[in-house]
Amino acid sequence: MRSDGGLRLGTRGSLLARTQSEWVAEQVTKHTGRAVALVVIKTRGDKIQDRPLDQVGGKGLFTKEIEDAMLVGEVDFAVHSMKDMPGEAPPGVVITAIPVREDPRDALVGKALADLASGAVVGTGSARRRAMLLEIRPDLDVRGIRGNVPTRIRKMREGEYDAVVLAMAGLRRLGLGHEVSEPLSTEQMLPATGQGALAVQCRGDDAEVRALLSRVHHRPTATCIRAERGFLVEYGGGCSAPVACHAVLHDGELEVQAFVEGPDGTIWRRDAQGTAERAEEMGRSLAQTLKGLAGPD
C-alpha cells in the first residue's frame, strides 16, 4: 500500500487489460474513497508472440508474474480476465472479488456468418472457437491469429482474414461494439469458462485490502463463476482439449452448459439445472460426465 493510503493495482500492459483495470480502479475508488494507481507488469504470455498459446502449455501464462509481484508486496491487488485464470491459484493468493459480468458471448467482426463464402478465412487463437465454428460451418478455413483486439481487427481489414472471432466483452469495454458484424449466441458458440468476467486478486493474508475489494463483488456473477470454475478444476485446468462451460442464473435457478471436443473430433454437450447453492457441484458433475464421454485429452 502506498504511503498515502492509496492502492497499487498490478495489470498487464495491453489496451484491454489496462481498460479493464482502470474500470475496476474507478469502482474501488467510488466505493472506498481510496486512490488506485496502475502498475504495468509484462507476463510470459505477453512475451510469446510467435506460437499459438495452446501450443505453449503451462499454467498462468497471463497471471504468474503479476501474482509473484503481489506476493512480494510490489502491488496490493490485481485484475485479470477470468478466462485467463488457471483452475487453482498459487498459495497465498486469492480471488477476493468478482465484479458484475460483461456480455459473455463471442462475436464475428468483418462479416456475419451467413455472408461468409465457402472457404472464407476466419481468424481465431482459440481451439474452442475453432471447434464450434467448424461444427456450424465446416466449409470455412479457420486459421490461427495472435495480437490484441485492435491488431486482430487491423489484420482482418488488411485482407489476411475475411472475419475474426472476438469476445463481445472485450469489444464493448474498448468501445468497439460498433465493429461487431454478428454476435454469436451461446447455442452457436458456448463461451469460455469465465468469459466476460473479471477476477480481482490479492494476498490471502491482507485483511484490509480484502475488505476494501469486497465492495465491488457481484454475488450473482460469482455464483455463475463457481459453477464454471468447478467444471474447469474437475476437467483439468491445464488440458489442451477444446472445452467450455457457461452458467446463467435466473431467479435463483442456475443453468449450466458445457462442451468438449474429443480427441477424434466428436463434439459432446451436456447441461444441468439446479439451485445456486449447488453451483460448484453442478460444474464438477458435468466435467465428470464429459470426461467419461470424450475420453482422455
Catalytic annotation, residues? 84
Alpha-carbon gap, residue 56 to 47, rounded angstroms: 12
Strand extents, DSSP E, 88-206:
93-97, 106-109, 121-123, 141-143, 163-167, 180-184, 198-203
DSSP helix/strand/coil, 1: coil
Residues 6+ apart with CB under 8 A from 238: 57, 58, 59, 86, 87
Q: How far apart are CA 61 and CA 71, in angstroms?
A: 17
**Which among 297, 42, 139 is positioned nearest to 287, based on CA atoms?**
297
Angle 210-100-252 from CA coordinates, rounded to 5°: 105
Helix, coil or strand: residue 254: strand
User: Quick one: cell of 10?
Assistant: 498490478
117: Cβ contacts below 8 Å, ≥ 6 apart: 162
What is the spatial distance between Cα 237 and Cα 247, in angstroms, rounded to a whole number?
17
- Look at strands 243-250 and 253-261 and give their pairing: antiparallel
